[in-house]
Chains A and B, each alone.
Chain A
Amino acid sequence: MMFEVAAVALFPAMFLALARAIAGPTVYDRVLAVNTFGTFTVLMIAVLGFMTDQKDFIDIALAYALINFIGTIAVLKFFAVGDFGYQQESKK
């Protein structure tokens, strides 16, 4: 019962983060909103894993947390530097 309440309480937070992702004027607001949404997803997967008593959801949550971080840093590098830094190798 407890995990259902937590999952239901997590849903509006995720929608609000999505609202910021859609409304965000600059690209950095969108990156921030997507990063926050990713953290909420990690917690939602962990809670759902406990709700349905499938403990391998926790591994999925761990993998999602790793990938969420890598994705955020990749998008930031692209928007900050303008490219992923492959052009230098091709120019040499």
Chain B
Amino acid sequence: MISTVLDSLSWLLLLSGCACLLISAIGLLRMPDLFTRMHAAGIGDTLGAILVLAGLMLQAGLSITLVKLVLILFFLLFTSPTACHALARAALAGGQKPLLAENLNTENPISESSPTEQPLP
């Protein structure tokens, strides 16, 4: 009885986690500007990871694998925002202007992303 509940719950968690990852990847492609893409990437890094790893934790049961999965989740939740923060600072220091609302050409916002295309340093 308990295993069917666990299986169905981890089915649900895994599928919703994969849905979050897909949404994050699609958002990564469709967003017009670097900083909005980071928002999309953040969804996948945090919620997607939580759901997928929670689904795996239910399957792992009380074992050393469960501890490792908790460690992975803990580490991912700490480092993904830090990496995104470092990326935003580096982008701003590199002269990457965020795309403001007034100069967003509404007919095809995705074609031309951030106006200041920086050549590689």
Partners in one complex: yes
* A contact residues vs B (CB 8 Å cutoff): 2-3, 5-6, 9-10, 12-14, 16-17, 19-20, 23, 25-29, 31-33, 35-36, 39-40, 42-43, 46-47, 50, 55, 58-59, 61-62, 65-66, 69, 72-73, 76-77, 79-80, 82
Can you list 29 A-B pairs, Cβ within 8 angstroms, ordered by A?
A2-B7, A3-B14, A6-B17, A9-B21, A9-B22, A10-B18, A10-B21, A12-B22, A13-B21, A20-B37, A26-B113, A26-B117, A28-B91, A28-B94, A28-B96, A32-B41, A35-B41, A35-B87, A36-B24, A36-B44, A42-B72, A43-B21, A43-B48, A46-B56, A50-B56, A58-B72, A65-B75, A79-B120, A82-B121
- Residue of B44, B72, B117 near A61 (CB, 8 A) is B72
A43-B48, A50-B59, A69-B79 in contact; A9/B18 too (CB < 8 A)?
yes
How distant is the Cα of A17 from the Cα of B120 in the complex, in angstroms? 21
Contact present for B18 and A76 (CB under 8 Å): no
User: In the complex, what's the smallest C-beta–C-beta distance from A76 to chain B, in angstroms?
Assistant: 4
Residue from A9, A13, A55, A65 having most chain B Cβ neighbours under 10 A: A13
User: In the complex, what's the smallest C-beta–C-beta distance from A49 to chain B, in angstroms?
Assistant: 8
Contact present for A13 and B44 (CB under 8 Å): yes
- Residue of B44, B90, B114 near A39 (CB, 8 A) is B44
A28-B34, A32-B38 in contact; A43/B52 too (CB < 8 A)?
yes
Closest to B41 in A: A36
